[in-house]
Amino acid sequence: MAVKQTAGRDALNDFAPEFAHLNDDILFGEVWSREDKLSLRDRCIVTVTVLMASGMLDSSFKYHLENARKNGVTMEEMAEILTHAAFYAGWPKAWAAMRMAKEVYADELGK
């Protein structure tokens, strides 16, 4: 099943239609849809880890945290993933990532 993404076209099609196409059709439509190679859950884990390591802790990071949760990554697993990555990516990045992950999983904390 192909992943359907329209964020590129929604945000950038009038300015950068080729970039929007590459984002929506290639990255999400083709790469993310190769579940025979790597599950969506595993792709989510890799993406969250790489974004944290890169310091990309913006709305796209939150989107990928939410996507990870939607694809079965539990709160406990996400906390462990970010804790593990902290030693390789940097403690300040992990703090920022943890705060955002806590927001994404807040309903499980009763908040």
Structure confidence at residue 111 (pLDDT) = 62
pTM of this structure: 0.89
Closest CA to 5 of 19, 16, 14, 26: 26
CATH superfamily of 38-111: AhpD-like (1.20.1290.10)
Structure confidence at residue 2 (pLDDT) = 63
4 pLDDT above the threshold of 90: no
pLDDT digits (tens, 9 = 90+) for 40-87: 999 999 999 999 999 999 999 999 999 999 999 999 999 999 999 999
Domain with CATH 1.20.1290.10 in the chain: 38-111
Closest CA to 72 of 109, 39, 33, 32: 39
